[in-house]
Amino acid sequence: MAQRFALMIDPADADSDRADFVDTFTTVDAAAPALSVGELSTQRGDGVFESIGVVDRHAQEVVPHLERLAHSARLCDLPAPNQTQWHHAIDTAAAGCGDGEYVIKLILSRGVEHGPTPTAWVTVAPAADFTHARESGVRVVTLDRGYDLDVAQNAPWLLLGAKTLSYAVNMAALREAHRRGADDAVFLSRDGFVLEAPTASLIIRVGDRFLTPAPNGGILHGTTQLSVYEHLAARGFAAEYARIPASELTSVDAAWLVSSVRLAAPITAVDGVEIPVDHALTRELNEYLLSPRD
């Protein structure tokens, strides 16, 4: 039977040097009530999160996810998470998973308004079956995100580099993509550059060069994209960051959406224009992404 549960965390100070945090975790039924009705994560989306892929009880890329959680917390003026405590929580959650693919979500919320501490918890659930997306690919549409590429440096209060719980816009973009007959979307800046997908990073191939939008353009720096780049660099490919004009998306040699749970999904069409698919490399990337990685 697939395991579903949650760990409520009593957050420790970031500089706490204790070695054992087991007494700060409380296991709860994932379907049971656990949060106050005044919880700001549900009222305002005021918090940050991470989704970690788990394969046969091995949590993937834990350190990059924890580093990004800390980065998001810093941008949102949340208390810094204790890295050791959260790592122990992830290890505990992964040990409770079954065989196959699971997803662990880390959530750090501002808590209850005027409350003494933030609220923190980890959830565990079986991952959705993404076999079709990995093997057959996804069709995407491009959607205007409504701001220029340099907005993050000009308006840091938009929190564009943080992985926040405020995902209403991302979900609306996916619904719009479905209305247009596509599987997913790729956001564009108002001045015509490629950004990211609502829940994934974009990687394109042009010859033997692999490109992804630079993370200083108000996008989330993808942990899976970083892992893919390590693999490609080890294979001798050029893996670079660049400003990618939207007009170049339909002339690439291949493209992928990559994320922690779906892994590498090849793009088969952009705005109805078919693009090439590198099936052999896609299989290689997904085999690599399913292998144990710390």
pLDDT in tens, 4-28: 999 999 999 999 988 899 999 999 9
Same domain, 221 and 234: yes
Q: 171 and 120, same structural domain?
A: no
- 94, 126, 158 — which closes off a domain? 126
**Residues 4, 9, 15, 19: is their CA dihedral positive or negative?**
negative
Tokens read off for 13: 């100070």
Same domain, 19 and 141: no
Helix (H, G, I), strand (E, B) or coil at 243: coil
pLDDT of residue 94: 97
For residue range 164-201, what is the model confidence (pLDDT) as tens digits? 999 999 999 999 999 999 999 999 999 999 999 999 99
Both 141 and 270 in a single domain? yes
Q: How many residues does the chain have?
A: 294
* 62 alpha-carbon distance from chain centroid: 12
- Which amino acid, one-letter code, is at 238? A
C-alpha span between 276 and 253 (Å, rounded) = 6
CATH of the domain at 59: 3.30.470.10
Mean pLDDT of the chain: 95
Residue 157 clears pLDDT 60, i.e. is over it: yes
Domain count, the chain: 2
On whether both 152 and 226 belong to a single domain, the answer is yes
- 42 and 152 housed in the same domain: no
Give Dmax over CA atoms of the chain in angstroms.
56
Quick one: 83 and 138 in the same domain?
Answer: no
Q: How far apart are CA 9 and CA 3, in angstroms?
A: 19
Q: Are residues 77 and 20 in the same domain?
A: yes
CB 15 within 8 A of CB 97: no
Q: Which of 32-46, 181-195, 273-287 has the lowest mean pLDDT?
A: 32-46
Same domain for 149 and 117?
Answer: no
Q: Which residues of 36-49 are buried (b: 16+ CB within 10 A; e: fewer)?
A: eeebbbeeeebbbb
Judgement on whether residues 170 and 280 belong to the same structural domain of the protein: yes
Domain boundary among the residues 126, 161, 191 is at 126
What is the model's pLDDT at position 1?
A: 45
Q: Where are the beta strands (DSSP E) in 146-261?
A: 184-188, 201-206, 209-213, 238-242, 254-259
Residue 84 and residue 22 in contact, taking contact as beta carbons nearer than 8 Å: no
Which residues form the domain of 190? 131-290
d(CA 226, CA 204): 14
Q: Which amino acid is at 165?
A: L
Closest Cα partner for 244 from 192, 190, 202, 194?
194
Write out the two tokens for 137. Answer: 């690919």
Residue-wise pLDDT for 203-220, tens only, equals 999 999 999 999 886 788
> Which of 174, 70, 81 has its CA nearest to residue 120?
81
Q: In CATH, what number is assigned to the domain containing residue 197?
A: 3.20.10.10
How far apart (Å, rounded) are the C-alpha atoms in residues 51 and 73?
15
Token pair of 22 as six digits? 């087991």
* Whether pLDDT at 160 is above 90: no
Phi, psi of 196 (to 5 degrees): -160, 175
Mean pLDDT for the stretch of residues 259-271: 98
Pick the last residue of a domain from 89, 106, 126.
126
Q: How confident is the model at residue 226 (pLDDT cuts 50, 70, 90)?
A: very high
Same domain, 177 and 273: yes
Structure token digits, residue 183: 């599987």
